[in-house]
Amino acid sequence: MKTCYRATAFVLVAALFSIAPALADGSGDPTAVKSEDGKYFDKQGTPTYKVQADGTVDWYTYSGFIRYHSECHVCHGPDGMGSSYAPALVDSLKTMNYGDFLGVVASGRKNVNTANENVMPAFGTNKNVMCVIDDIYVYLRARANDAVPRGRPAKHEEKPEAATKWQDSCFGQKS
């Protein structure tokens, strides 16, 4: 009977190790497969970017660039490239999925070891971050996949009416 349990345990552990790479592939395939009101989503339903052949980015990628540089770059460096104070988010998004990204931004994180102490504050109550968190994610996802270069995107789509309505509602403004 013990042999049966050991064999079952071995199979379960092997299965876990075989799916670990799939779980650690971050945001997955970023290809946009659908659009709703100018916002693009991949096959998993995760917000993603759309870059046209001429370099024009979707509104949310452009907005994410603006919002990232207003709220995040002080610690994480320009264009998500990291700093001596905080890690490069373009690298983090290569292994971090959308849900984990939202969780860390909303709740914060503290990593302490003998060499250093890294603290990501919680932004869950900061409307300047949480009302546009998808925009920031989409921008960083585009940077992590080398879909957009460093710097402000030169061309972008017009802001969709749905984006204006959402932001007005989230920030508590009347349309």
Tell me the residue range of the domain where 57 lies.
Answer: 28-171
Residue 114, pLDDT score: 76
Does residue 85 lie within any of the structural domains? yes
H-helix segments, the chain? 2-23, 59-71, 73-76, 89-92, 98-107, 127-130, 133-144, 161-171
Please indicate, yes or no, if residue 13 is contained in any of the structural domains.
no
Q: Is residue 58 part of a domain?
A: yes
Q: Is residue 107 part of a domain?
A: yes
**Residue 12 in domain:** no
Residue 77 confidence (pLDDT) above 70: yes
C-beta separation of 139 from 47 below 8 A: no
pLDDT, one tens digit per residue, over 8-60 is 333 333 433 333 333 334 667 899 999 999 999 999 999 999 999 999 999 99
Residue 85 is predicted with a pLDDT of: 80
- Could you identify the residue written with the tokens 């009101």? 37
User: pLDDT class for 175, splitting at 50, 70, 90?
Assistant: low
pTM of the model: 0.81
In a domain, 9, yes or no: no
Q: Is residue 22 part of a domain?
A: no
More confident: 151 or 16: 151
Enter the tokens of residue 166: 């959402």
CATH, residue 63? 1.10.760
Question: Number of structural domains, the chain?
Answer: 1
The per-residue pLDDT for range 60-73, each reduced to its tens digit, is 999 999 999 999 99
